[in-house]
Structure 1
Amino acid sequence: MNSTHQILMTSAVLLLAAAGCSERAAQAPPPPSPATNPPITSAESATDRWVGKWSGPEGTFLQLAGGNGQYEVTIQNLDGPRTFKGTAAGDRLEFERDGVRESVRASNGAETGMKWLSEKSDCLTVKAGEGYCRD
C-alpha cells in the first residue's frame, strides 16, 4: 500500500468517525444551562416556604395557610383581618383584593419601603409600604 493510498484511507475513516460523532451529538439533548433554574413543581413551590405568620408594624400581619400552590392569604391591617384566595405564580403568590390583582414576593426589610422593617432580612412585600417580616 503506498503512502497516498494510506493517507486517503485514513482521511476517509476520520471523516466517517467525525460525521458519526456529530450526528450523535445532534440527537442528544443539550445539557442544562447552569444559568437556568430547574422548573419548580407545585409540590416544591418556593411559596410553600412562606406558610405561616409574618409580622408588620402596629399589630398588622400577613398569614399564609395551605400549600402546593394554593393558599389562603389573611391580611390584618388597622381595619381588621381580611382573607383572600392566593395562587403561586413562579416566585410570587398572587391574589385579588378589592378588584386589584396583587402579588406577594420575597424581599428584605429595606425593600418593603417601611422604616419599621428596614433592618429585617426575611420579609414578604405586597407593594411599597406594605410588607411583613419574620423575626
Structure 2
Amino acid sequence: MEKAALALIAMLLISACSNNNTVSSNAPAPDTATEQSEPHHQMTDQWVGRWIGVEGLFLEISKDEPEGPGHYLLHMRYGLDDDQIGTFEGQATAEGIRFNREGGPQLLSAGDGEATGMKWLLEKEDCLIVATGEGYCRD
C-alpha cells in the first residue's frame, strides 16, 4: 500500500512539473501572435470613399496621410440640423474606426442595411454604422 501511495505521489509530481512548464510559458500561440501584430487599418483602408445615408446624410472617409497608416478623416453630415456636419479624426481599431464627435467617443463599424435600423437601407449589404439609426451604405 505504501509503495502504491509513493508511486501515485511521484506520478502527480511529474505530471505537475510537466504541466507547469507549458502553463508558465508566456509566449503567445503562433496564431495569436500573427493576429495581434496584424494592422487594423488593412480592413478599414477598404472603407475609404463616399458612403450614402438617408435624407442627404453622407460619410466621406479619406486617409489622414500626415498621421500615418490607420488614421482617417471622416467628413460627415450625420443629422438634418445645420450644425450636424463636420470633419472628425479617426483611428483604426480591431472593431472599426474610433472617433470623437459631440456626445463623446464613437465607433464606426461594418454591417448591413438591417444593422443600420433604417428601413430605407434595409436591402443594402455594404454599410458602415455609427449607431442604430445612423448608417451609411454603398450600392
- TM-score of the superposed pair, with normalisation by structure 2: 0.67
Identical pairs, percent: 43
Equivalent residue in structure 2 for 1:111, among 94, 98, 115 = 115
Q: What is the CA distance between 1:119 and its match in structure 2?
A: 0.4
Q: How large is the RMSD of aligned CA atoms in angstroms?
A: 2.6
Change (3 A) 1:55 1:30: closer
State the alpha-carbon separation in 2 of the partners of residues 31 and 100 from structure 1.
Answer: 37
Query: In the alignment, does 2:68 pair up with 1:66?
Result: no
Q: Which runs of 5+ in 2 are unaligned?
A: 1-21, 23-27
Inter-partner Cα distance in structure 1 for 2:132 and 2:115: 8
The change in CA–CA distance for 1:31 and 1:83 in structure 2 (over 3 A counts) is closer
8 A Cα contact 1:122 1:134, kept in partner: yes
2:88 corresponding residue in structure 1: 84
Paired residues, number: 108
Residue 75 of structure 1: SS of its match in structure 2?
strand
| CA positional deviation for 1:31 | 5.0
Report how far residue 71 of structure 1 moved.
0.4
Largest Rg, 1 or 2: 1
TM score, norm. by length of structure 1:
0.69
